[in-house]
Amino acid sequence: MKDRASFLLPLTAAVMFTALLLWWMRGGQWTSARSGGGRVSAPRAAGGSAPNANAVALAVAVGIVRAAQDLAGSPEAPALLQARLAALLGRPGALPNESVLTFKDAAAYEAFLARAAAAGLDIAGRLDGLLTARVRFDSLDGLAADLLANSGDYTDVVANDIVVPPAQPPPPEDRPGGPQAAVGNKLLDLLGVTGDHSTWGQGVTIAVLDSGVAADPTVANRLRMLDLGLGTAPAADDGHGTAVASIAAGAAGDAPGVAPGADILSIRVTGDEGTSTLFTLAEAIMKATDAGAQVINISMAAYSDSAYLNNAIAYASEHGAVIVASAGNDQAASLAWPAANPNVISVGSVDALGQQDVFSNSGPQLSLTAPGYDVQAAWTDGGRVYFTGTSASAPVVAGSIAALMSANPGMTGADAAQILQQYSSDGGPAGADPAYGSGTVNLGWAMNRNDPARVDTAISSHYYNNDTGNMEFVVQNRSGSAVSGLTLSVDTGTGANATAVPPLQPGETFTAAVPVDETQLETAGKLTFRTTLANPPGTPADAVPANNRAASSLTAPAAPASP
């Protein structure tokens, strides 16, 4: 009985030309850098790994620098180099007549800036800290000539990739569908937030790199904006950025956020058509960091990265900012960029019952999951919407990081992110896994992790193990101290049995396994499992008694269709 799972119940041409040009690469060696097209979307954030064509394109990009060095002095050099540049910069998914250039040192960079106009290259954007410039041109003549004459100054020549829907998203994982529970206006309850949390996030700035944030009352008094040249106000009816900001730091009762005391720095990175570029994302990361943002939320995703984007992420990390990004919504077994970058806190999505949302991308790099299914949020017109996707999950984590930082003066964003991962609700099989990362954000536990009197024992998940044919029931101690004497009762529908749970330290898990009777399953079509976790007599009241009961069902596979 394989590939079944239990569900918690609410009961092209440029590429071909590129390949022809690869023989110019010395020794046929390629570099490991990547580039290519991707996606920004509202309210959906895409995900996945870069198609092979992108790796080819970046290999050619670095090969251009090498080829320019090899071809210098050859009469055929200008034509050959222009052909290669045309293949790289003119492919689908790149802004036409643009390139992003990176230089080996400050002297080489400044020298290029001084001569760019004479070469017919218009400086459209600068990342001075990364020695990178975005240029526009009417003809490739000037760029090819400058590259031939100064090849030793360059380290990278790439296209300015548009972040747009890919023609071929990564193949989806084969996941069984099932009912999913809306979060609605219960986000804070699901995170374990109780009482007055109005000061959470004070002194912390969350940068929202998105479609712009409207001056909605839920964030207006704490909202400032930074213009990259795209304007600051959202495009008509594009409330994606406003929804993200409200989830992270909203203060209104009908659009409550996780850290209502935090300041929001809105940086619009999309044009009126709703798309962005990798250069714009890199620029926004640099600007947000320099403006003092401690947390940077990116609820968008691309199908490729670039060396300069990764350098911008590293710049943010080196200057104390932590980046949180959505994993993507393509049901793929790989993360989108920038979430796939190891310096980024990547976030997948779960519903109100803690189930992985069927659309949420997964992968071994996934850091955390957070509620992201029909989350009530603000929109551009002052209205309220149900917002779905890993775009909604990422700001939950961004707000949670800000909340921890404000409650623990001197704590860095990276430290706060590590605490969220350590004190998260386990999902799926025990321990970190590609679907849930370290687990689902449990802010109540993280904020009260040092309270030895707090008791919260929980049934963390019901999980069908394809390898063993067993149903597994994971128990987790989310208390502030060790707990002994727990009893787990499992009702399989034909009777209940009790299992003694060994002593558990804070955060520790225990898994009870029950073999599945396949004959019974095939006959009945569905088996239902109900579990109850009992704390020993004399234990203080459980902080979250609702998570001491859980139910799930396992369905028989559909019969194969008749030929």
Q: Is 210 a catalytic residue?
A: yes
- Are residues 459 and 474 in contact, defined by beta-carbon separation less than 8 angstroms? yes
What is the b/e burial string over 400-427, where b = at least 16 CB atoms within 10 angstroms of the residue's CB? Answer: bbbbbbbbeeebebeebbbbbbebbbbb
Q: How far apart are CA 26 and CA 435, in angstroms?
A: 41
CA distance 529 to 531: 7
Range list of H helices, 178-295: 187-190, 240-249, 278-290
CA distance 357 to 371: 9
Name the pairing type of β-strands 457-465 and 470-477.
antiparallel
Contact 277, 40 (CB under 8 A): no
Catalytic residue among 49, 151, 240, 266: 240
Q: For residue 38, report the phi and psi dihedrals to the nearest 5 degrees.
A: -165, -150
CA angle 372, 333, 61 (to 5 degrees): 110
CB atoms within 10 A of CB 528: 15
Which of 210, 216, 351, 433 is an active site residue? 210
Measured distance CA(172)–CA(169) in Å, rounded = 8
Does the active-site annotation cover 391? yes
Distance CA 301, CA 179 (A): 26
Strand order in the sheet with 7-8: 7-8, 549-555, 526-534, 487-491, 496-500
CB atoms within 10 A of CB 179: 12
Diameter of the chain by CA atoms? 89
The catalytically annotated residue of 391, 424, 479, 552 is 391
Is 460 in the active site? no
Is residue 225 within 8 Å of 372, Cβ to Cβ? no
Task: Just list the catalytic residues.
Answer: 210, 240, 391
